């Protein structure tokens, strides 16, 4: 194993922060050097190797209901119990979806055309689509063509009355916008549609094919999303298509792993989370074996150093994140109002070793992105900013866009923050100049693919980010201050009540 070290020095963050003009959080004078030295790339990589072995022995995946995931759970439970933590397995049911074979969408007449599955100008199956192989005429439903100038102006398919006069057995063609995909599909199915095609709305940024979710099982007809151009082609009337989806959509059981430090104030709990599951397509050793392995190593090294935190630290490995943040959502849903008040903050680490990385920090105060986290999230962001400034390492803001497990926490007003090194986004020339790597390529070229293996990693990013994980966990474990400046209730900040993303899937 490689033991790569970057920029580890003793740290007096409060002094550095004052010199750089960054805001100083009361707890940032905590000395985290010894813990950061103990959290090595070799240690993190050993855990990633265990996750890879779990996948290799079980069909190449660690999807939340798979034996590979259960093997990962067993490994984490064993490691944390040996380290002396109070470990709980939290089972829950969740909606499972997997395509058994690639879907097809083909125009039979009047202009025979085979549309590309997952192509930008093609179509993709909606998560939780029903199965079926149907050939029928396409019937447009309340379309807005040309589209309005603003997104979500189309109400196509949002009301049952939109389907008045719909011919049962036809394939419903509806337009993205205004309401959820599931409502559009439910209305179409109730009207007797044999299939549903939901095409993108058409404004700038809403023309390509997209990945959508119907929210859960229960649909009996095939439902797909499509590019705006596909919808326009099928909207003229008299168009016959063949639509085929072959998928499994059902309720399965998985679990979260929750491990509490045996010491620390239980009315100021620091929840440190990372999702443990992968997508069905691969082992997920970067997404999110990197975050899972990093928090596991931090927990073990805190125990090895016999650190007695002032505040209880609750390490959490979430299940079914890839199905829509479901493990974290289930955990938060079980909390009482008192439990919520007793959680000081949530630290989230999802993908911290991307091969073509950028160092992203969640924008807690919303100063650089559209949304802010709840009151206190600014202080969490500041701790990361101050740390990286002390290390002379550049960072970029990333938004609370609802794509990771912090989402359920900020929805109930719990301050949150964390780190991210990039997924399917494309690296810019400016980012390549600052961080290295290759402009014009994905931050993680193996995002949600079978090639997300042990070798899909930047050791530099993993080392730097693991140090930052250790620093932040130790900082908040030892703080004597309330993160949000008060022990009273927490404000919700500038967050939306309904996030457009749930994990990697669009919901509307």
pLDDT of the residue at 20: 38
Dihedral angle, C-alpha 404, 68, 260, 83, nearest 10 °: -130
Q: Does 254 fall in a domain?
A: no
Count of CB atoms within 10 A of residue 276's CB? 31
What one-character DSSP code corresponds to residue 112?
-
The domain that holds 151 is classified in CATH as 3.50.30.30
Count of CB atoms within 10 A of residue 424's CB? 11
Q: Does 154 fall in a domain?
A: yes
> Which helix (H) or strand (E) element contains residue 381?
helix 377-390
- State whether 435 and 380 are in the same domain: yes
- State whether 294 and 391 are in the same domain: yes
User: Smallest Cα–Cα separation from 431: which of 396, 467, 475?
Assistant: 396
> Which helix (H) or strand (E) element contains residue 327?
helix 326-333
User: 3-class SS at 253?
Assistant: strand
Rounded to two decimals, the pTM is 0.83
Strand 195-199 and strand 171-175: pairing?
parallel
pLDDT of the residue at 500: 57
Q: Does 13 fall in a domain?
A: no
- State whether 298 and 318 are in the same domain: yes
- State whether 304 and 445 are in the same domain: yes
Q: Does 33 fall in a domain?
A: no
Distance CA 166, CA 133 (A): 20
- State whether 224 and 275 are in the same domain: no
The domain that holds 321 is classified in CATH as 3.40.630.10
b (16+ CB within 10 A) / e for 110-122: eeeeebebeeeeb
pLDDT of the residue at 430: 97
- State whether 396 and 270 are in the same domain: yes
- State whether 153 and 223 are in the same domain: yes
What are the backbone dihedrals phi and psi of residue 248, each rounded to the nearest 5 degrees, phi first? -105, 125
User: 3-class SS at 254?
Assistant: strand
Distance CA 62, CA 169 (A): 39
- State whether 232 and 278 are in the same domain: no
Q: Does 35 fall in a domain?
A: no
Q: Does 3 fall in a domain?
A: no
pLDDT of the residue at 402: 81
Q: Does 187 fall in a domain?
A: yes
One digit per residue, pLDDT tens: the chain, 508 residues?
233 333 334 454 443 343 334 444 444 468 999 999 999 999 999 999 999 999 999 999 999 999 999 999 999 999 999 999 999 999 999 999 999 999 999 999 999 999 999 999 999 999 999 999 999 999 999 999 999 999 999 999 999 999 999 999 999 999 999 999 999 999 999 999 999 999 999 999 999 999 999 989 999 999 999 999 999 999 999 999 999 999 999 999 999 999 999 999 999 999 999 999 999 999 999 999 999 999 999 999 999 999 999 999 999 999 999 988 999 999 999 999 999 999 999 999 999 999 999 999 999 999 999 889 999 999 999 999 999 999 999 999 999 988 899 999 999 999 999 999 999 999 999 999 999 999 999 999 999 999 999 999 999 999 999 999 999 999 999 998 888 753 333 333 333 434 455 555 566 6
Q: Is the dihedral of CA 435, 440, 446, 451 positive or negative?
A: negative
Overall domain count for the chain: 2
Q: Which of 211, 229, 249 is the last residue in one of the domains?
A: 249
321 is catalytic: yes
Structural domain boundaries, residue 408: 53-85+261-506
Per-position DSSP letters for 186-249, written without gaps between them: HHHHHTT-SEEEEE---STT--S---BB-SSS---S-EEEE-HHHHHHH-SSS-EEEEEEEEEE
- State whether 242 and 271 are in the same domain: no
Distance CA 296, CA 379 (A): 24
pLDDT of the residue at 29: 65
Per-position DSSP letters for 273-324, written without gaps between them: EEE----TTS--TTTTHHHHHHHHHHHHHHHHTT---SEEEEEEEES-STTT
- State whether 219 and 304 are in the same domain: no
Q: Which of 249, 281, 300 is the last residue in one of the domains?
A: 249
Per-position DSSP letters for 399-429, written without gaps between them: ---S-STTHHHHHTT--EEEEE--SSPBPPH
- State whether 394 and 358 are in the same domain: yes
- State whether 177 and 271 are in the same domain: no
Distance CA 120, CA 272 (A): 36
pLDDT of the residue at 504: 57
| Peptide bond between residue 22 and the one before it cis (omega within 30 degrees of 0) | no
pLDDT of the residue at 222: 98
Residue with tokens 């989370």: 273
Candidates 321, 322, 411, 431; catalytic one: 321
DSSP lists the bridge partners of residue 135 as 242
Q: Which of 225, 249, 273 is the last residue in one of the domains?
A: 249
What are the backbone dihedrals phi and psi of residue 5, each rounded to the nearest 5 degrees, phi first? -120, 135
Distance CA 209, CA 174 (A): 14
Q: Does 42 fall in a domain?
A: no
């Amino acid at each position: 194993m490689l033991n790569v070290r970057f920029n580890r020095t003793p740290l007096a963050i409060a002094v550095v922060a004052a010199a750089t003009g960054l805001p100083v959080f009361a707890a940032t004078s905590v000395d985290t050097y010894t813990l950061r030295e103990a959290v090595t790339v070799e240690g993190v990589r050993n855990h990633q190797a265990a996750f890879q072995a779990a996948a290799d022995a079980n069909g190449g995946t660690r999807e939340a209901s798979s034996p590979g995931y259960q093997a990962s759970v067993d490994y984490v439970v064993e490691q944390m119990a040996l380290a002396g933590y109070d470990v709980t397995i939290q089972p829950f049911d969740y909606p499972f979806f997997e395509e058994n074979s690639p879907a097809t969408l083909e125009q039979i007449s009047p202009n025979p055309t085979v549309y590309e599955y997952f192509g930008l100008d093609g179509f993709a199956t909606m998560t939780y689509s029903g199965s079926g192989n149907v050939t029928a005429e396409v019937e447009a439903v309340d379309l807005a063509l040309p589209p309005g100038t603003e997104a979500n102006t189309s109400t196509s398919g949002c009301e049952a009355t939109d389907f008045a006069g719909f011919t049962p057995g036809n394939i419903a063609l509806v337009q993205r916008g205004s309401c959820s995909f599931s409502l559009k599909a439910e209305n179409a199915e109730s009207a007797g549609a044999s299939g549903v095609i939901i095409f993108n709305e058409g404004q700038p940024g809403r023309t390509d094919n997209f990945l959508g979710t119907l929210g859960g099982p229960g649909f009996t007809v095939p439902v797909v999303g499509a590019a705006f151009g596909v919808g326009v082609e099928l909207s003229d009337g008299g168009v016959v298509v063949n639509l085929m989806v072959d998928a499994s959509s059902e309720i399965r059981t998985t679990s979260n792993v929750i491990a509490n430090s045996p010491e620390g104030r239980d009315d100021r709990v620091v929840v440190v989370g990372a999702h443990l599951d992968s997508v069905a397509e691969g082992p997920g050793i970067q997404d999110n074996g990197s975050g899972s392995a990093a928090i596991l190593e931090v927990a073990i090294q805190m125990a090895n150093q016999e650190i007695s935190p002032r505040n209880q630290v609750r390490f959490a490995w979430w299940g079914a994140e890839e199905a829509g943040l479901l493990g974290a959502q289930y955990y938060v849903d079980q909390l009482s109002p008192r439990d919520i008040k007793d959680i000081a903050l949530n630290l989230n680490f999802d993908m911290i070793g991307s091969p073509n990385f950028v160092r992203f920090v969640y924008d807690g105060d919303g100063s650089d992105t559209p949304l802010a986290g709840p009151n206190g999230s600014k202080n969490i962001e500041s701790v990361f900013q101050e740390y990286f400034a002390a290390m002379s390492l550049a960072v970029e803001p990333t938004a609370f866009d609802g794509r990771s497990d912090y989402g359920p926490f900020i929805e109930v007003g719990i301050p949150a923050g964390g780190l991210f090194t990039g997924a399917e986004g494309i690296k810019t020339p400016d980012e390549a100049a600052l961080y290295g790597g290759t402009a014009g390529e994905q931050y993680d070229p193996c995002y949600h693919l079978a090639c997300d293996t042990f070798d899909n990693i930047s050791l530099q990013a993993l080392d730097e980010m693991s140090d930052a994980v250790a620093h932040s966990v130790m900082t908040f474990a030892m703080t004597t201050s309330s993160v949000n400046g008060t022990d009273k209730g927490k404000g919700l900040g500038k967050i939306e009540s309904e996030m457009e993303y749930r994990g990697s899937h669009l919901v509307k």
